Structure 1
Amino acid sequence: MSAPETDDRTLHPSVLSAAVDSRRIFDVQTQSLKSRARDALGKLEMAVRQHERELIDALWSDFRKPELEAFVSEISVLYQEIRKLRKCTRRFFRPVRHRTPMSFFRSRSRVRHEPYGAVLVIAPWNYPVQLSLVPVAGAIAAGNSVVLKPSELTPHVAALLETIAKEAFPDGLLRVVTGDHREAEALLSQKFDYIFYTGNTRVGRIVMEAAARHLTPLTLELGGKSPAIVTRNADLNVAAQRIAWGKCFNAGQTCVAPDYVLVESTVHDAFLRKYQEALVRMYGSDPEQSPDYSRIVNDRHFNRISALIDRTDGTVWNDVRNPDTCFLAPTPVTDVDWNDALMSEEIFGPVLPILTYDDVSEMSEALIRRPKPLALYVFSKRHREAEEIFQRVPSGGGCINDVVIHVASSELPFGGVGDSGFGRYRGVHSLRTFTYERAVVDHRIRPELRFRYAPYKGKLELVRRLVGR
């Protein structure tokens, strides 16, 4: 994706129509959208439930996502999010009363949450249902109209999302624009009131540049190399099993998957052995025959990850690849250092570089010098040890003695920091993201405080006493 141009003559008619209609719907229905938010969420949930089986089949068709993974990570998390949002909206939009200074005598101060207006959501391919409809649900719950641009890399899911939008919202409250990067660029050239983008850092910079042209606020949910740290005090069976699960779930195509592992050198060999055993328990001795193991989404991403494996100076274990089906086996790689090819970019696949460390302070300093990750995972039976690492090393979120699961909770804010993005969403945090705080002072007509009007002669001491100075 390149920086978008702003000439409307180059736009696909559906793109221009979506942007204009979304703005019109919000302008005409701005007062009713907030009050109808809970009903709108119910319509969205009903439409998804009606097409649940088709969505699961589409996820299999697009990149062979197993049914359980599809339901747990794409469908059920959306249902949970909608339930949470419906509860939150009951109280969220009530004006919040604030204290009023004495200088505003006989006034009342309140803060209201107001929707931004027309929201653009640009979604990725790796969790094409969840990462499309969870932010969409938050934007709708906050009283906005929405245009969704799903990824072209999962065409079966994208087509179903368009069907769901039309069935749930025939009035166009949610519009889906399909297509490739050209449609995304065309949408970014239009004026929206808020942009929510999930994807890689390179495109995130392009989205931010486009938003700046219209002074549009935005959230960027990006990626990065999220480390898992295994100390000598870790339960190695638990660490190996949970890291293997998080790394291979969706074939490693998860923004918060452990990208690499830092293992204290004294337990490196034991961890590697237990990691390999965990892989066999989950997928058997031939993962290519397992019905529970996904495929890389397309040839381009398969070739990118394969090139990283070919360039590594480390020791590659279980290097099995099938370019015809985009199968890439779970592949641990040992004897890796910070300068290795595998450490040059986010892997976004089932390849796990394993680095060692001896001193926790030196390891922490090395992490601090790198871009801030989206997630940090620490395995240790000593809670204080894990907390100390979390205090030293920044990240968007993370877990102690587990991986990935923090993103499954609608109670917790999810988002990055630094190169891994900014902004938070999920549950009430989505409502805060897709609204702005509007301060309102209700001042009585009487009595009139005339000291604030010119001429000011002789009034300074009175003003000083009122403001307490």
Structure 2
Amino acid sequence: MADIGVDAKMMVEKCRRAFDEGKTRSYEARIQHLQNLLRMIAENKKAFVDAMYKDLRKPEFESVTFEVDFGYNECILAINELQQWMKPEKVAIPMAGVGKQCFINRDPLGLVLIIGAWNYPFQLPIHPLIGAIAAGNTAIIKPSEVSPATAQLFEELFPKYMDTSCFQLVTGDAVVTTALLEQRFDHIFFTGSTSIGKIVQMAAAKHLTPVTLELGGKCPFYIDSNCDIDVAVHRVASSKFYNAGQTCIAPDFIICRKDQTDRVVSCLRKAVKEFFGENPKNSRDYGRVVNARHFKRICALLDGQEIEIGGESDEDDLYIAPTVIINAKDTDGIMQEEIFGPLLPIFNLETPEEAIRFINSREKPLALYVFSSNMRVIDQFRNQTSSGMFCGNECMVQGGVETLPFGGIGHSGTGNYHGKFTFETFSHRKACMVDPMYTVSELARRVFYAPYTDRKTAIISWILRKKPKNRTMSFFFQVTGLVVLLAVLYKVIHWVKGCMRK
């Protein structure tokens, strides 16, 4: 443990020194580091796909679309947009700033720690790293030891492509993570369970280090009485059984009316057969549970449950069939903890109002999914519930939209990322004011100097006091402005016509 602690300290000192020397700050340096990372992704695509197959029996389609290509596109986006992202952001200038330049500068935070998760072993370390590099930081990356083949491949490739004075990748178990958390970082980005997220936050608090926690939770999937059940079920099934249910934004359970259950089950049975054939175990498109410990945890959730579809398992193959449970109770273990596996319970509630009360009585989910042909029902859930993300008539696709922030709220996480949001996460928005005419503005500035007088107080109060917005007058001035504009245009057109006649 002492040796690991020393190694962690040395890595931190090395990366912090590189940051202090400015090796990652300039636009040119950031682009070069991003291009190096892009080459690592592009030149080793098949190797990463093979590694994820070893770890999770992940189908090539899933490894390519939501892992390797997803990371590649994120890197391209950062390279294409970085110059724009780095520009100072101009802001409106109130009376106190008249005559001065006011803007927001995005500064790098310094040295950041990125702790990845095993369920998406490529994407979850790479996406935060792209944003950290784009924002001008140095970083230490810790991929999950639970997906050992992918972690080992990262360990082999990283020094060949990346500047290891600026970016260090370290593998190992919880002992290594603990040693790293004892060091001081300028930001910690963690993806994983809520229980470990609490440990990370406690460790960060010792150094007042800000954190981004991408956690999980139980994501509800509500099926309204007024919707196309076949479409809703196909989307919930494809999302739930993607990566064998090991996705933080996967729907965790279905909420529907009791009299809808038979139809939902029938559609689920049809969808599972359509996706994976008569025996999903033989399908090349169906993954496996990551290890024996998680296999046993998931199987234990089936105790006492009414299994309607699936339920078969094989510990030697780490296989659990796509499984549907009916008549789930709120007090059951399967309804209390995040499943993170291919089990889909159906929980019955009769009205949207009941469903909203039930959702609000629990910890805030990472994502909430609502299917209805009535947009008022979708708006009702969106406005009356709190979740990290919300989808109406769609499921999990929001995670691939770079212009939407990805993140939780409450127990499902804090902070967000993806696209420019990752750049923002790893940047400090520094308020800047510059007075280029300071000698000229000195006369006005003197009103703020002591000794203070009643006259100075009255002047400053009059200048700085904001006035309530009069919407009626605002509308009046808008209409007046439009009338004036039309009158001017009329005069211009009349004048042009007159010139043409001459």
TM-score of Structure 1 vs Structure 2, range by shorter chain: over 0.9
Which has the higher mean CA deviation after the structures are superposed, 446-455 or 353-362?
446-455
Determine helix, strand or coil for the equivalent of 2:49. Answer: helix
Match of 2:213 in 1: 220
Match of 1:342 in 2: 334
C-alpha deviation, 1:426, in angstroms: 0.7
Match of 1:402 in 2: 394
Report the Cα distance in structure 1 between the residues aligned to 2:72 and 2:84, rounded to whole angstroms. 20
C-alpha deviation, 1:456, in angstroms: 3.4
Match of 1:455 in 2: 451
C-alpha deviation, 1:216, in angstroms: 0.7
- Ranges of 4+ aligned residues in structure 1 off by more than 6 Å: none
| Contact 1:315 1:334 survives alignment (8 Å) | yes
One-letter amino acid of the structure 2 residue matched with residue 467 of structure 1: L
C-alpha deviation, 1:30, in angstroms: 5.9
C-alpha deviation, 1:114, in angstroms: 0.7
Whether 1:467 and 2:464 are equivalent positions in the alignment is yes
Question: Aligned ranges for residues 47-446 of structure 1 at < 5 Å?
Answer: 47-104=40-97, 106-310=99-303, 312-443=304-435, 444-446=437-439
Structure 1 unpaired stretches of 5+ = 1-7
Report the Cα distance in structure 2 between the residues aligned to 1:426 and 1:137, rounded to whole angstroms. 10
Which has the higher mean CA deviation after the structures are superposed, 393-402 or 25-34?
25-34
One-letter amino acid of the structure 2 residue matched with residue 452 of structure 1: F
| Contact 1:117 1:193 survives alignment (8 Å) | yes
Determine helix, strand or coil for the equivalent of 1:440. Answer: strand
Measured against aligned partners, the alpha-carbon deviations of 1:300-346 in whole angstroms (never above 9, x if no partner) come to 00000111112x34345321110111111111011112111211200
Measured against aligned partners, the alpha-carbon deviations of 1:154-183 in whole angstroms (never above 9, x if no partner) come to 111112222332122134322111000111
Report the Cα distance in structure 2 between the residues aligned to 1:389 and 1:465, rounded to whole angstroms. 45
| Contact 1:166 1:172 survives alignment (8 Å) | no
Which has the higher mean CA deviation after the structures are superposed, 424-433 or 442-451?
442-451
Q: 1:397 to 1:460 in 2, by over 3 A?
A: closer
C-alpha deviation, 1:225, in angstroms: 0.4
Report the Cα distance in structure 2 between the residues aligned to 1:360 and 1:102, rounded to whole angstroms. 49
C-alpha deviation, 1:212, in angstroms: 0.8
Instruction: Give the aligned CA root-mean-square deviation in angstroms.
Output: 1.8
Q: 1:73 to 1:101 in 2, by over 3 A?
A: closer
| Contact 1:33 1:144 survives alignment (8 Å) | no
Determine helix, strand or coil for the equivalent of 1:113. Answer: strand
Which has the higher mean CA deviation after the structures are superposed, 16-25 or 119-128?
16-25
Q: 1:421 to 1:468 in 2, by over 3 A?
A: closer
| Contact 2:18 2:166 survives alignment (8 Å) | yes
Structure 2 unpaired stretches of 5+ = 467-502
Report the Cα distance in structure 2 between the residues aligned to 1:440 and 1:170, rounded to whole angstroms. 32
| Contact 2:42 2:72 survives alignment (8 Å) | no
C-alpha deviation, 1:78, in angstroms: 0.8
One-letter amino acid of the structure 1 residue matched with residue 302 of structure 2: I
Report the Cα distance in structure 2 between the residues aligned to 1:94 and 1:464, rounded to whole angstroms. 34
Measured against aligned partners, the alpha-carbon deviations of 1:106-154 in whole angstroms (never above 9, x if no partner) come to 4222210111010100110000100110111011111111111110011
Name which one, 1 or 2, has greater alpha-carbon Rg. Answer: 2
One-letter amino acid of the structure 1 residue matched with residue 448 of structure 2: R
Q: 1:430 to 1:380 in 2, by over 3 A?
A: same
Determine helix, strand or coil for the equivalent of 1:81. Answer: helix
| Contact 1:148 1:175 survives alignment (8 Å) | yes
One-letter amino acid of the structure 2 residue matched with residue 86 of structure 1: I
| Contact 2:240 2:252 survives alignment (8 Å) | yes
Report the Cα distance in structure 2 between the residues aligned to 1:318 and 1:263, rounded to whole angstroms. 20
Q: 1:271 to 1:463 in 2, by over 3 A?
A: closer
Q: 1:468 to 1:292 in 2, by over 3 A?
A: closer
C-alpha deviation, 1:381, in angstroms: 2.1
| Contact 2:135 2:426 survives alignment (8 Å) | yes
Which has the higher mean CA deviation after the structures are superposed, 424-433 or 87-96?
87-96
One-letter amino acid of the structure 2 residue matched with residue 339 of structure 1: T
C-alpha deviation, 1:74, in angstroms: 0.6
Q: 1:15 to 1:199 in 2, by over 3 A?
A: same
| Contact 1:223 1:346 survives alignment (8 Å) | yes
Which has the higher mean CA deviation after the structures are superposed, 392-401 or 326-335?
392-401
Determine helix, strand or coil for the equivalent of 1:32. Answer: coil
Measured against aligned partners, the alpha-carbon deviations of 1:173-221 in whole angstroms (never above 9, x if no partner) come to 2211100011111111101001111100000111111111111111110
Which has the higher mean CA deviation after the structures are superposed, 23-32 or 97-106?
97-106
TM-score by length of 1: 0.94
| Contact 2:352 2:377 survives alignment (8 Å) | no
Which has the higher mean CA deviation after the structures are superposed, 331-340 or 297-306?
331-340
Which has the higher mean CA deviation after the structures are superposed, 390-399 or 225-234?
390-399
Q: Of the candidates 18, 31, 34, which is equivalent to residue 41 of structure 1?
A: 34
Report the Cα distance in structure 2 between the residues aligned to 1:252 and 1:116, rounded to whole angstroms. 35
| Contact 1:149 1:176 survives alignment (8 Å) | yes
Q: 1:288 to 1:391 in 2, by over 3 A?
A: same
